[in-house]
Amino acid sequence: MENNNFILADYQSLIFDFRGYKVMIDSDLASLYGTETKILKQQVKRNFDRFPKDFMFELTQEEKLQLVTNCDRLANLKHSSINPLVFTEQGVAMLSSVLRSAKAVAINIEIMRAFAKYRTMLMESRDLHNEIRELDGKINQVFKFLIDKIESLHQKEEDQPRKRIGFKEYE
């Protein structure tokens, strides 16, 4: 079971965020499936109708540069004239119908688990963020209440005449 978690952690490091989608790059997927990137792209082109824009898209030159800058292991893409294809979770699932090998199916299962784990981590992060904001609001209310009470105490003291200290004169 620990080995499985290690695999999930590895797959999670292969997931990137582009255009609001969590995606995996064609070269990483080809490597996982034990095939060449060129062959993976050929299969996708032969079955292009299975990959709408929300399943797969090509990175722009700027996005490719961003990817290379943030990920050292992809430095070889820097000088490539071809921009990589990226696949969303649904696109990766569709790849299993295009690449029919047993290894492709097994790898797809692991990748789907990685996407699910990644999504869970994001949701937990959002929940924690919301709880912190809620707690911050409560703390602000408490501080405002305390400040109001302190100000009202000072106001009461100023309204009452002060008793003189020291020698009193009698008439």
Give 43-66 pLDDT, tens digit per residue: 899 989 889 999 999 999 999 988
Confidence check: pLDDT of 2 > 60: no
Is the per-residue pLDDT at 77 higher than 90?
A: no
DSSP state of 69: H
Q: Give pLDDT, residue 126.
A: 76
> Mean pLDDT of all residues in the chain?
79
| Cα distance between residue 65 and residue 83, in whole Å | 10
Please list the residues that pair with 18 across neighbouring strands: 21
Q: What is the pLDDT of residue 95?
A: 83
126-143 average pLDDT score: 78
State residue 11's pLDDT score: 67
Segment 105-129 shows an average pLDDT of: 77
Question: Does pLDDT of 171 surpass 50?
Answer: yes
Q: Tell me which H or E stretch contains 42.
A: helix 37-46
